[in-house]
Every structure is written in C-alpha cells, then in structure tokens.
Homo-oligomer: A and B are copies of this chain.
C-alpha cells in the first residue's frame, strides 16, 4: 500500500532529507512512502504561476495513486496546520481513503489561539472549543475515516523534523491496514 506523505515538510530547507527518512520508516513497516516531490517536473519556460499549477497536478496524481495519507498536522504559520496539507486530507477524505495524521504539538487548538476575551480572538471571531487538536473538520475526518491522529511534543528545535510520533502513526496504520 502506498502512503501519501503530506505536510509542511516540503518547505524545509532540505525537504528530500526528511522525505528519505519518512520513506525508510514506511518501508520498515511494510508500506511504500510517496513524497509530494517524487515526480521529476520540467519547469523549463514556465512562469511562477504555471510552475505552481504543474506541481498541483503532479501532487493530485500522486494522491490518486496512494491508498492512504499520513499528514503532518504540526501547526504552521499560525495556530492551525499547513493549508495545503489540510486540502490534501480533504481530497483523500472525498475519495473515502483512510486518513492518518500526527502533530509534534500536543496542545489542543483552543490553547494555541490567542484569546482576547473569553472564547473570542483578536478579530472578535469565535474560537472552537470542541477539545480537538485543530478545526473539527480535520479531527472529525480522521476519526470517521478509520484512521488515527497521534500528537506529542517534539524536542526543542525539532518541531518540524522530529519523526518519533510519525513512526508511531505508521506503526498504527500498519496494524490496521496490513495483514501479516
């Protein structure tokens, strides 16, 4: 079975390094890991926007070829996870594939949003308080897909790179989906 390895990992200074580590862990548990940058793309002569569109189509195709997703839900540029990864969880959910996810931040969503007055943020918008680790659409989708969301707190300085919790999720996915 192929796992789509979603996450803000693609924005790391050296994304192929973590890609290799994640794939090795997938292999260890009997899966094939697929990283969003796996397809060689020819950017020759393309504008920035056209390059972006080509990457979208490539990643969509990779998702279509995968049987499940393991998403890195570690908060990215705000209290929530990376929006591209959230889209990808939705895309796989729309195809009824199992969603697994992990976060290297063990705090509930409400603990990460700056509360100005009780229950409201600085824009006066309500803050979700359903004891979820992110927006309930994310936690709910994972729960009802038959997958799992595992969280913990990565060692200082390894917020985006520690793979301890990622490996736990791969092991859980193997127990649920692989027969051997």
Contacts and interface: CB of A to CB of B under 8 A. Distances in A.
Contacts of A128: 11, 52
A152 interface: no
Nearest to A6: B137
Contacts of A88: 90, 137
Given A87-B90, A141-B87, A49 B125 contact: no
Contact of A160 (B79, B125, B138, B143): B125
Contacts of A82: 80, 135
Interface string A120-162: 0101111111111011111111011000000000000001100
A57 B139 CA distance: 11
Interface in A85-136: 86-95, 113, 121, 123-132, 134-136
A151 to B, nearest CB: 14
Contacts of A135: 82-84, 87
A92 B89 CA distance: 11
Contacts of A57: 140, 144
A45 to B, nearest CB: 15
A44 interface: no
